[in-house]
Amino acid sequence: MSLNDLFTEIILDHYQHPHNHGLISSPSHFSRGFNESCGDDIQISLLVEKDIIVDVKFSGAGCSISQASASIMTDIVRGKSVDQIKTLAGKFYDMVKGNEANPDEDLGDAVALQGVAKFPVRVKCATLAWHTLEEALKQQK
Ligand code: ZN
């Protein structure tokens, strides 16, 4: 199996069996993001306590890249601090824009999305969940 095949498998698996799917009933933070060029729609709800993401869920609809990226993102950010998330989001943006050929291992399954750098219109699909997460964190309840 080639690395590209492996990455495709990881993306399809997250798309078909999303992790942390749904809505938190009493979130501390919430945001909804749209990618109009593709029709992707993502809602992120968070429970933040003492600057740590103790729970995170996503829901929405859209292409396999946007939904898989959201599923992967929820796995990565759970248990992390708000500052760590800013760093991780920056690393993720660099990777999917093709600015980083050797993605940080902290990005976990998100490395499977590095191929979108070759498809500029899909970069927005891959980054939607992260941008929506950052928007949610800016809002105080
Ligand atoms: Zn999309």
Distance 95 CA to ligand 1 centre (A): 17
Distance 48 CA to ligand 1 centre (A): 28
pTM: 0.95
Distance 121 CA to ligand 1 centre (A): 8
Distance 49 CA to ligand 1 centre (A): 31
- Residue 100: predicted pLDDT: 86
Domains and CATH numbers, the chain: 3-138 (3.90.1010.10)
Render pLDDT for 47-93 as a digit per residue (tens, 0 to 9).
Answer: 999 999 999 999 999 999 999 999 999 999 999 999 999 999 999 99
- Return the minimum-mean-pLDDT range out of 40-44, 94-98, 104-108: 104-108
Residues 6+ apart with CB under 8 A from 50: none
- Residue 4: predicted pLDDT: 86
Which residues have a beta carbon within 5 Å of ligand 1, which is an ion? 38, 40, 63, 66, 125
